Amino acid sequence: TTGEQIEAAILGQLQTSNIDNSVSWAEENGLERKAVESVIKSLTSDETVTAISSTSVAFKLTPAGDAVLASGSPEFHILVTVAERAAAGNPVSAKDKEAFAAQDKGRAMKSKWIKVDKASGNLVAVADVGEVVDETKVQLSKVFTGKSEEVAGKVMKDLKKRGFVAEVKTVSYAVSKGSNYAPVRQKPKTDLTVEMLASGEWQSLKFKPLNLKAKGRPLTGGYLHPLMKVRTQFREIFLEMGFEEMPTNQFVESSFWNFDSLFQPQQHPARDAHDTFFVSDPARTLTIPADYMERVRKQHEVGGYGSIGYRYDWSEDEARKNILRTHTTAVSSRMLYELAQADEFKPKKYFSIDRVTRNETPDATHLAEFHQVEGLIVDRNVTLGDLIGVLNEFFKKLGIDKLRFKPAYNPYTEPSMEIFSWHEGSGKWLEIGNSGVFRPEMLRPMGMPEDVSCIAWGLSLERPTMIKYGIKNIRDLFGHECSLAFSRTATICDMTLERHPPASAASS
Ligand code: PHE
């Protein structure tokens, strides 16, 4: 029987009389209860019919109950066994705990079918197997024949507890004509057309009501990229910790601020064309503070402040070459220089998050541009201990609380530490950042007082974003191969929540 046939049967029935109980009605008409139920639900949706549901509880035998009905209750079997074994000269000892389940044995005793013979200590039958009435079986047969109401409540509870009977709930409906009833269901129209208006047909048609609660279509456009969402998280953590944001709008930088001011020697491999993009027009910068530049030259060539310098001929032309900044430490350097020019030194906590550029061959974990997160604290006598402390606090706010540090080398920091974090998902220590204490060779030529030191750290924004969003290939996150649908559907990123599968390798 199809749904349409059932629908016709129900509507036909309602022409003459209501359906008091859909379950029995279905049975009488040889229809599937479930199929009838779903047609009733559909008919109520447009008020073709009205249906009031009620739930009835029925009982049925479980397979264990069926077995009792077929061959007797456990207590009856005990009586049989006790009698048979006594007759065979192999009586069951009352102490034999294994022979019968205690409960069932208790029932056989209570029914006065068996007892303990004091003299021998054995179980003996006191009732005749052929004559006893197996009450459990009697009650179950009532359930079986649909006369559950004849079983006392307490008894039914016991039968359920013993696993012989199960409860089945059935929902039935009392069905009557609805406000839109018609012997043949009127399918409401979903659209009002020009033709309906022109012909006047609209006046006699039924229309489906507008569903004002339906969800709208997803909007197109105007989505934040996941990387920007993570940037917001980082920014909030820094602000919470009292850091001020540095201006990072200078993507084209001079070699001077990107390298020389950081005491990075001019023959350093990172400076040559393999790692750095040089700008051809304008190729040279004009604005380097002259006196400071001279102090930097001296620092590189012959040293000072306890350092012997690098002992080479420092080239002003090299320092003036314009490049795309390779790290945001160039920004830190400018800010520290500004700070050192003030009449009176003021401690500062600075951060930045922005793009840097490196001449890398793109692969799954590298692009020629990425975002750096950078933080620094400049104050009198800040130490490596402060750095470790602040890194622990910072990463804790990112949901990372197991850190390890490994000695490393940067031209501008001493000591320097790579930062590793334990990643539960991959069961590995992952490198997540780089840090250190800025060298006096960098700070003193700027004019920083001798007792002022600066701790700093940097990491990529892409790496934690890939970890948090479970992205394996950086090109799926950033650049022209990135899927727009991803940024449309990506959720906000709570850094403290664990944790998507990890990205396979570093991105800085
Ligand atoms: N500039 C370093 C990099 O690009 C990061 C860093 C920042 C290291 C500050 C130490 C101190 O990897």
Q: What are phi and psi of 332, to 5 degrees?
A: -55, -40
Query: What is the C-alpha to C-alpha distance for residues 341 and 198, in angstroms, rounded to an integer?
Result: 82
- Asked whether 462 lines ligand 1 (CB < 6 A), one says no
Domains 1-73+134-216 and 226-489 share a fold: no
Q: Count other Cβ atoms within 10 Å, centred on residue 39.
A: 25
Domain boundaries, the chain: 1-73+134-216, 226-489
Q: What pLDDT, on a 0 to 100 scale, did the predictor assign at position 507? A: 38
Query: What is the C-alpha to C-alpha distance for residues 326 and 354, in angstroms, rounded to an integer?
Result: 11
- Greater confidence, 496 or 135? 135
Distant-in-sequence, close-in-space partners of 209: CB < 8 Å, separation ≥ 6: none
- With the most atoms of ligand 1 within 8 angstroms of its CB, the residue from 271, 324, 329, 457 to mutate is 329
Confidence of residue 496 (pLDDT cuts 50, 70, 90): low
Which helix or strand (DSSP H or E) is residue 415 part of? strand 413-423
Tens of pLDDT, residues 397-418: 888 888 999 999 999 999 999 9
By alpha-carbon position, which residue is closest to atom 5 of ligand 1?
458
pTM, two decimals, is 0.60
Tokens, residue 377: 């604290």
DSSP state of 209: P
SS (H, E, C) 419-437: EEEEECCCCEEEEEEEEEE
Q: How far is CA 79 from the centre of its chain?
A: 60
* Range 464-498 burial, b when 16+ CB lie within 10 A, else e: bbbbbbebeebbebbeeebeeeebeebeebebeee
- Asked whether 243 lines ligand 1 (CB < 6 A), one says no
Q: What pLDDT, on a 0 to 100 scale, did the predictor assign at position 499? A: 46
Domain 1-73+134-216 = CATH 3.30.1370.240 = yes
- With the most atoms of ligand 1 within 8 angstroms of its CB, the residue from 372, 376, 434 to mutate is 434
- Asked whether 329 lines ligand 1 (CB < 6 A), one says yes
Query: What is the C-alpha to C-alpha distance for residues 164 and 61, in angstroms, rounded to an integer?
Result: 6
Lowest mean pLDDT: which of 13-27, 106-120, 491-505?
Answer: 491-505
Confidence of residue 269 (pLDDT cuts 50, 70, 90): confident
CATH superfamily of 226-489: Bira Bifunctional Protein; Domain 2 (3.30.930.10)
Query: What is the C-alpha to C-alpha distance for residues 293 and 332, in angstroms, rounded to an integer?
Result: 17
| Beta-bridge partner residues of 29 | none
pLDDT of 337 higher than 50 = yes
Tokens, residue 463: 């790496």
Let me know: does 254 contact 326? Beta carbons within 8 Å: no
Closest CA to 461 of 416, 425, 508: 508
Query: What is the C-alpha to C-alpha distance for residues 305 and 291, in angstroms, rounded to an integer?
Result: 17
- Which ipTM value was assigned to this complex? 0.97
Q: What pLDDT, on a 0 to 100 scale, did the predictor assign at position 369? A: 93
